Amino acid sequence: MKCQRCGKTAVIYQKYSNAHLCKSHFIEDVERKIKRDIRKFKMVERNDRIAVALSGGKDSIALLYILHKIFDKRQDLELSAITIDEGISGYREKTLSHAIKLTGELGIPHTIRSFEYAFGTTLDKLTEKKEAAACTLCGVLRKNILNKAARELGATKLAIGHNLDDEAQTILMNYLRGDVDRMTRISGAFQPRMVLRIKPLRSVPEKEVALYGFLNNLPVSTDECPYAGEALRNEIREMLNNYEVKHPGTKYSLLGGFEAVSQALRPPGMQIVQCEKCGEPSSETVCKTCRLLGR
């Protein structure tokens, strides 16, 4: 198939837009979507210090690369990366080495924090107790360290590599669980002591992020976390992918619909307090991290 813009060999067919694109027009398309969202949602402002949550997986690797490409010439902006080593043996070592490689090549300051250092334990040890699902522990504890590290670095924004698939799955999961509280939180409201999270890849489908990384020769690992498999998310991923094949554009519709209702969902005066155990921001007197760690 030929690229419909220049006639060169196409590397992708985007069913949702009915477009065949060659390598350079595909890369241009991905970067256009990201720049558009950055502008539309005012993700980046003058003098921002952007910390990128860099797990070393394909999404965060692509995110750091793209933000560097877009903003490298901007003298008023600073870019740094934070990697959290959760202690997942046989998996995190590899993605960590990708993160170190890319930040080294791009000359971006890189901070590495670990569960071991912050909490005196690892995800592998915590999951042995079987008190909570691995992804719940991992997500909550990682968010805690990421926010703290970003705050300590003086970051004004924390960039997360969530792609369109992640966003659509999360929105649908929260609808199905009836979890309005979580829905208000993914809409990105300002909260005291929380570094504002931005998601520049939110309009790029997962497959396109992977292809972007491949075409740009980024260090991408195909290994999967041994704990990957949150039951409901996997079911929703499969369902959404099947639905997308039959009804191209479904994931975009889900995201667009959520944007429309997110303002109405946000409670006017959501109370954020300091956790009485660790002092971190929390919606309850004891934060979720401390509750999960049994503090």
Residues that bind ligand SF4 (CB under 6 A): 134-135, 138-139, 225, 227-228
Distance in Å, CB of 95 to ligand SF4, minimum: 9
Minimum CB distance to ligand SF4, residue 127 (Å): 8
**Which residues does 119 contact at the CB level (< 8 Å), separation at least 6?**
141, 293
CB 162 within 8 A of CB 200: no
Cα–Cα distance, 54 to 92 (Å, whole number)? 12
Residue closest to 164 by CA, chosen among 246, 96, 232, 258: 258
The per-residue b/e assignment along 9-22, b for 16 or more CB within 10 angstroms, e otherwise, is ebbbebeeeebbbb
User: Smaller CB distance to ligand SF4: residue 127 or 203?
Assistant: 127
Please, what is the minimum distance in Å from the beta carbon of residue 12 to ligand SF4? Answer: 26
Q: Which is nearer to ligand SF4, 53 or 183 (CB)?
A: 53
Q: Looking at beta carbons only, is 64 or 141 nearer to ligand SF4?
A: 141
The residue whose two tokens read 């307090």 is 273
Is the Cβ of residue 1 or residue 228 nearer to ligand SF4 in the bound state? 228
Q: Write the DSSP symbol of residue 195.
A: P
Shortest reach from residue 33's CB to ligand SF4, in Å: 24
Q: Which is nearer to ligand SF4, 49 or 233 (CB)?
A: 233
Minimum distance from residue 220 beta carbon to ligand SF4 (Å): 16
Cα separation, 13 vs 3, in Å, equals 9
Measure Cα distances from 150 to 9, 113, 200, 213 in Å.
43, 11, 17, 25
Residue 206: name the closest of 241, 244, 164 by CA.
Answer: 164
Least separation in angstroms between CB 155 and ligand SF4: 22
Q: Which is nearer to ligand SF4, 35 or 233 (CB)?
A: 233
